[in-house]
Each structure stands twice: as C-alpha cells, then as structure tokens.
C-alpha cells in the first residue's frame, strides 16, 4: 500500500490564516485605546461600541498590546487594538457584517482564531504564555467549534513531535526501532484522520469546516469532500480569499483526478524511453538521469516523511551493494520540501549512492509530474538503453528482476 504521508507535521492553528511579512495597520486602528491612571497603571478598559464586541482577560498580560487581525488579504491587517489593563482585562469592538475569520493576539502567529458573524458579544480568557492554543472562548458557537478542533489538533501535533524526537535520537541503522516508531505514527495519523473526517462531516454546512480544510492532503481521495467544502465557503463567504482557496484546491483535485485517468506523458510503460530528469543534488549541482545510461538504473521516487519508503530503504541499500559492481545504480528522486530533512534521511538510511536529486517542491514537483507520480514509493527500472524495463517493483520482486537482468 502506498502512502503520501505517515507522520503528519502539524503547524500552529493561526498558520492556516496568516502569512509571513509585516503587519499592515488599518488607518482607523486605535494604537492605544486604554487609559492610564494617575499612578501610571493601566485602568480596566471600558467596553467600546460596535456590533462585534470582544471582551476578555489575559492573565499576566498587564500592559500588553492585544490586536484584532483580519486575514481577508495576503497579509494580516490590524482592525483594532487595546492595551491589557492591570487586572488583565481588555475590550475591542468593530463594526463588521457577515462571516469573517479574525485573530486576537499580540502577533498574527500567536492569535486566537475567531469566526464571527456580526452582532456578537464574545468573551475570551487565557494565559498570555499559552494564549493561542489554550484560551477559552464563549459567546460565539462557530469560534468555539473551531477552537475545539485546533486544540485536538495540537494534542496530535505534540504526540507527533514526541515521535520525531524519538526518531532523531535513534542510532544510525536501527531500522527495527524506526519501523516501530513509524507504526506508531501511522496509528496516530489514522486516529487524527478519523477525528478530522468526523469534524468535516459534522460541520460540512458551516464555514467552521474551514478549520479542517487545510488538513486535507489526499486531493484525489477527498475530491467529493473538497467539492462540498468549496460549496459551503462560497455560500457563506463568497469572493473571500477563503472561498478562493477552497476553489483552487478543488480544481487541483479535479486536475489530479484527470491526470490519474490519463496515461502519463509519453506513455510511461515498459519499452518506452524514460524521460530525462536533471535536478539539483544535495550539493546544489544538477544530477542527470541520462548520464547514467549504459547501466541498469533504479529510478526511485521517495521522501523523508514517507514511512513505507523509509521501510523499503534497507532492501534498496542491500540491492545496491550486491549489484553496484555489475552495472547497476540508483537515481533517487525525493518529493521532500525541506532540504535538511531530505539530507538527514539519506544519511540516516545509509543511501550511499551519489545520484540523489530533488526540486524540493513536494507534490508540485516537476520531476514527479514528468513520471505521473501521485503516490510513493514508486519505482521505474530503466535498462542500459534508457528504456523502461519494469514499473512499480519493490522488495523481492525488484530483487528478482535485477537478478534476472544482471545474472
């Protein structure tokens, strides 16, 4: 069975809505809406006027500037701000109509995510140190629904990070322990997927479903869900960047489905010439697949985050060592995006052949597209004449085929 990911890497909730860059402050934003008393202390802030009112308490937040962000454009925009009082209280109010995603915090990356509808009075309380992930929301059912999802998501993320730490501490070559950790990761992913799909089903007719939208990775498998989410977001938030994002992802899923039902470029079947791959190696210099012509070449599509790929690597290493002096070599193409993790996996798994390449574009890889790759691991065995000898062989089947050709 092929997997696109085994150990999911979860990011903070606000990353779904924010972008890197400077904050854009609205010209009507209040830089300091609170008051200072005669002793130089922040007074409790009086509730301001507006059809969406947010009051709350930030423990240990005395003097902090808390901001209300909009994620409706490419950069987070400050709609309003308030200085937290000596008792931890704050109040912000804006005139807002229709559904909108907002963030409340000191920075866009450390903000509590809210889904407001207008004419609401929200209350938020939490500690400054754990504001984004642990603050408690009331007064907005949609915001509470999203918050519950993000908190469950964080629990899974912490478990994943623990497994990653265990993986990184393993002695080189300890494949048994690596396999055990990967198994735990697969179980975790299955648990998270079950929770995620239940959340989507329960909220498919609510814009709160967007909280789980960016946790959909298998576009072809979940194309019907994406279609429903796109319909929901365009119903509740038409012409928004959020509706646009769902439309783009759904269209990508459609394109991928069409690609899967159509033979890859050149009909990449046995007997066809293998397309050239010429992409950067670990040292930044391009590695050409055609430069290996004259040898039997195993073209192996893999990634550092792919558990089944990593599990298969000992077999590939064994095959390489057995036949490297008989005209056999390997060209490994990675669907990684993080160069450091790619290199670390090469070293950890002992992939000693020199032909490693990647454009570090993940599933948007040009190299993967040339070969119609939509799941990994995937292999092409290429003969000395540059033509494809076999497709999709792993383990004993691959070993037997190489032995058949090279003797």
What per-residue confidence (pLDDT) applies to 258?
Answer: 60
20: confidence class by pLDDT, cuts 50, 70, 90: very low
pLDDT reading at 19 higher than 60: no
Rounded mean pLDDT of 148-173?
Answer: 87
The number of angstroms, rounded, from the C-alpha of 221 to the middle of its chain's C-alpha atoms is 17
**Which has the minimum average pLDDT: 42-56, 297-311, 330-344?**
42-56
Q: Any idea what the CATH number is for the domain that residue 97 is in?
A: 2.60.40
Into how many domains does the chain fold? 3
Interacting residues of 208 by C-beta distance below 8 A, sequence separation 6+: 115, 142, 145, 146, 149
Q: Domain check: are 302 and 360 in the same one?
A: yes
Q: Domain check: are 54 and 90 in the same one?
A: yes
What per-residue confidence (pLDDT) applies to 336?
Answer: 93
What per-residue confidence (pLDDT) applies to 205?
Answer: 97
**Domain contains 122:** yes
**Domain contains 393:** yes
Computed over every residue of the chain, the mean pLDDT equals 83
Q: Domain check: are 392 and 350 in the same one?
A: yes
pLDDT reading at 12 higher than 60: no
Q: Domain check: are 125 and 236 in the same one?
A: no
pLDDT reading at 147 higher than 70: yes
**Domain contains 273:** no
- Residue of higher predicted confidence among 319 and 35: 319
Q: Domain check: are 84 and 184 in the same one?
A: no
What per-residue confidence (pLDDT) applies to 142?
Answer: 96
Q: Domain check: are 295 and 382 in the same one?
A: yes
For residue 343, the enclosing domain spans 278-406
93: confidence class by pLDDT, cuts 50, 70, 90: very high
For the segment 251-299, what is each residue's pLDDT rounded down to a tens digit? 877 875 664 444 444 447 788 899 999 999 999 999 999 999 999 999 9
Rounded mean pLDDT of 68-78?
Answer: 87
Q: Domain check: are 402 and 282 in the same one?
A: yes
Q: Any idea what the CATH number is for the domain that residue 337 is in?
A: 3.40.30.10
Q: Domain check: are 255 and 161 in the same one?
A: yes
pLDDT reading at 353 higher than 80: yes
Q: Domain check: are 256 and 318 in the same one?
A: no
What per-residue confidence (pLDDT) applies to 257?
Answer: 64
Rounded mean pLDDT of 299-312?
Answer: 91
What per-residue confidence (pLDDT) applies to 109?
Answer: 87
**Domain end marker among 139, 174, 205:** 139
Which three-class secondary structure string do you get for the chain?
CCECCCCCCCCCHHHHCCCCCCCEECCCCCCCCCCECCCCCECCCCCCCCCEEEEEEEECCCCCEEEEEECCCCCCEEEEEEECCCCCEEEEEECCCCCEEEEEECCHHHEEEEEECCCEEEEEEEEHHHHHHHCEEECCHHHHHHHHHHHHHHHHHHHHHHHHHHHHCCCCCCHHHHHHHHHHHHHHHHHHHHHHHHHHHHCCCCHHHHHHHCCCCCCCCCHHHHHHHHHHHHHHCCCCHHHHHHHHHHHHHHHHHHHHCCCCCCCCCCCCECCCCEEECCCCCEEECHHHECEEEEEEEECCCCHHHHHHHHHHHHHHHHHHHHCEEEEEEECCCCHHHHHHHHHHCCCCCCCEECCCCHHHCHHHHHCCCCCECEEEEECCCCEEEEECCCHHHHHHHHHHHHC
- Residue of higher predicted confidence among 74 and 10: 74
pTM of the model: 0.60
**Which has the minimum average pLDDT: 46-55, 83-92, 113-122?**
46-55
33: confidence class by pLDDT, cuts 50, 70, 90: very low
**Domain contains 3:** no
Interacting residues of 338 by C-beta distance below 8 A, sequence separation 6+: 304, 360
315 half-sphere exposure, CB direction, 13 A CA radius: 16
What per-residue confidence (pLDDT) applies to 161?
Answer: 86
**Domain contains 167:** yes
Rg (CA), the chain: 26
- Residue of higher predicted confidence among 266 and 67: 67
Tokens of 109: 């990356």
Distance CA 313, CA 346 (A): 10
Distance CA 24, CA 27 (A): 9
What per-residue confidence (pLDDT) applies to 311?
Answer: 87
**Domain end marker among 84, 114, 139:** 139
Could you give the C-alpha distances from 269 to 14, 54, 312, 335, in angstroms and in order?
Answer: 44, 61, 23, 22
Q: Domain check: are 379 and 336 in the same one?
A: yes
Q: Domain check: are 133 and 152 in the same one?
A: no
Distance CA 317, CA 345 (A): 13
Q: Domain check: are 59 and 131 in the same one?
A: yes
**Domain end marker among 234, 260, 286:** 260
**Domain contains 242:** yes
**Domain contains 173:** yes
**Domain contains 266:** no
Rounded mean pLDDT of 55-83?
Answer: 93
168: confidence class by pLDDT, cuts 50, 70, 90: confident
């Amino acid at each position: 069975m092929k997997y696109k990911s085994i150990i999911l890497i979860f990011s903070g909730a606000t990353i779904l809505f924010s972008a890197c860059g400077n904050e854009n402050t609205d010209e009507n934003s209040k830089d300091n809406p609170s008051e200072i008393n005669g002793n130089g202390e922040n007074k409790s802030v009086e509730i301001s006027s507006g059809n969406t009112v947010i009051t709350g308490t930030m423990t240990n937040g005395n003097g902090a500037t808390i901001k209300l962000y909009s994620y409706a454009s490419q950069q987070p925009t400050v709609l309003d701000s308030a200085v937290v009082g000596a008792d931890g209280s704050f109040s912000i109010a804006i005139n807002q109509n229709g559904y909108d995603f907002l963030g409340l915090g000191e920075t866009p990356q450390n903000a509590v995510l809210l889904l407001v509808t207008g004419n609401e009075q929200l209350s938020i309380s939490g500690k400054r140190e754990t504001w984004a992930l642990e603050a408690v929301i009331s007064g907005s059912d949609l915001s509470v629904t999203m918050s519950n999802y993000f908190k469950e998501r964080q629990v899974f993320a912490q478990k994943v990070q623990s497994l990653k730490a265990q993986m990184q501490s393993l002695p080189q070559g300890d494949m048994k322990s690596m396999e055990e950790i990967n198994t735990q990761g697969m179980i975790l992913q299955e648990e998270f997927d079950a929770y995620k799909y239940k959340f989507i089903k329960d909220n498919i007719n609510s814009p709160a479903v967007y909280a789980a939208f960016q946790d959909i990775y298998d576009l072809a498998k979940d194309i019907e869900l994406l279609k429903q989410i796109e319909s929901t977001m365009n119903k509740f938030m038409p012409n928004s960047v959020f509706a646009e994002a769902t439309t783009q992802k759904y269209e990508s899923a459609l394109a991928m489905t069409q690609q899967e039902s159509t033979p890859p470029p050149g009909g990449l079947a046995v007997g066809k010439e293998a397309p050239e791959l010429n992409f950067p190696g670990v040292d930044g210099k391009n590695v050409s697949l055609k430069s290996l012509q004259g040898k039997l070449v195993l073209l192996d599509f893999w990634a550092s985050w792919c558990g089944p790929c990593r599990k298969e690597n000992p077999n590939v290493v064994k095959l390489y060592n057995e036949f490297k002096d008989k005209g056999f070599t390997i060209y490994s193409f990675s669907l990684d995006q993080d160069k450091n993790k790619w290199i670390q996996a090469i070293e950890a798994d002992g992939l000693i052949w020199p032909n490693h390449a990647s454009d570090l574009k993940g599933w948007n890889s040009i190299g993967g597209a040339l070969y119609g790759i939509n799941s990994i691991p995937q292999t092409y065995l290429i003969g000395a004449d540059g033509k494809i000898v076999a497709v999709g062989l792993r383990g004993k089947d691959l070993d037997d085929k190489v032995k058949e050709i090279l003797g």
